[in-house]
Amino acid sequence: MKKLIKADEGEIFDIELATDLLAENERLAKINLELLKKHGVKAIDVLGSVGSGKTSLLEQLSQSLKEKYHIAVIGGDLTTTIDTDRIAKHGVDVVQVNTGKECHLDANLVAKALKEINLTQTDLLFIENVGNLICPAEFPLGSEKRIVVISVTEGPFMVVKHPFVFMEADIVIINKIDLAEAMDVSIKNLEKDVHSINPRAVVIKTNCRKGEGIDRVIDALNL
């Protein structure tokens, strides 16, 4: 026996509420974008599952770019400061946003975080979202570009299972490529999956821990 149920066929509780929230979030995201533009700050979202390598990427980018740009990082996490502690060691400004039980950053939380940053002296802002490939997809924050980080260790299906987050990605980073063979995951197929959802996405293969591929990320961001 095999049956299929689609949530949108029935009355799931919160569809209408969600629509209102998303519209309000979009309005606030536009205000954030205006504020950032006014101060000449280029903002870049970084999304991905827990353990995909978002923080390692930001450590590498901070280290490589901090002489050229004044960098700030906003980091979202439920309750810890592990990620921003790691990034702060590279001498960039960090604001940790602890979301409690919330599964994503929203434009309202980012607006609060922006108040803690000296935007006049900031050139580049990275916003590391909560580790999650689903919820953050629907909440624009006011950034110009969106990076999605995936790792071969998440198996062969993480792209096809999360179409929404890849639709909006400018750059998709396939990380931990050194483990592809041990994981029996085809990097080529992952790349094909990304491009079948979003042909304009730039796909870059990295080993963020070791710094491999970081120069190509910097090129793709025009930095």
Summarize as ranges the residues that interact with a second copy (CB under 8 A).
1-8, 10, 12-14, 17, 21, 24-25, 49-51, 77-82, 84, 88, 93-103, 106, 108-109, 112-113, 116, 118, 130-135, 137-138, 151, 153-155, 157-158, 160-164, 176, 179, 182-183
Residue 42 CB, nearest approach to a second copy (Å):
19
Residue 86 CB, nearest approach to a second copy (Å):
10
If you ran DSSP here, which 8-state letter would residue 17 be given?
Answer: H
| Nearer CB in complex with a second copy: 31/179 | 179
| Nearer CB in complex with a second copy: 151/206 | 151
Residue with tokens 């996490």: 77
Using only the alpha carbons of the chain, give its radius of gyration: 18
Residue 220 CB, nearest approach to a second copy (Å):
24
Residue 106 CB, nearest approach to a second copy (Å):
7
Which tokens in the block code for residue 133?
Answer: 């490939």
The pairs formed by 72-75 with CB atoms below 8 angstroms and a separation of 24 or more are: 72/117, 72/122, 72/124, 72/125, 72/126, 73/125, 73/126, 73/127, 73/128, 74/105, 74/110, 74/113, 74/114, 74/117, 74/125, 74/126, 74/127, 74/128, 75/128
Residue 149 CB, nearest approach to a second copy (Å):
12
Which tokens in the block code for residue 191?
Answer: 């790349």
| Nearer CB in complex with a second copy: 1/188 | 1
| Nearer CB in complex with a second copy: 32/49 | 49
8 Å CB contact between 131 and 50: yes
| Nearer CB in complex with a second copy: 188/222 | 188
| Nearer CB in complex with a second copy: 87/217 | 87
Which tokens in the block code for residue 216?
Answer: 């190509």
Q: In whole angstroms, what is the distance from residue 219 CA to residue 197 CA?
A: 23
Residue 5 CB, nearest approach to a second copy (Å):
5
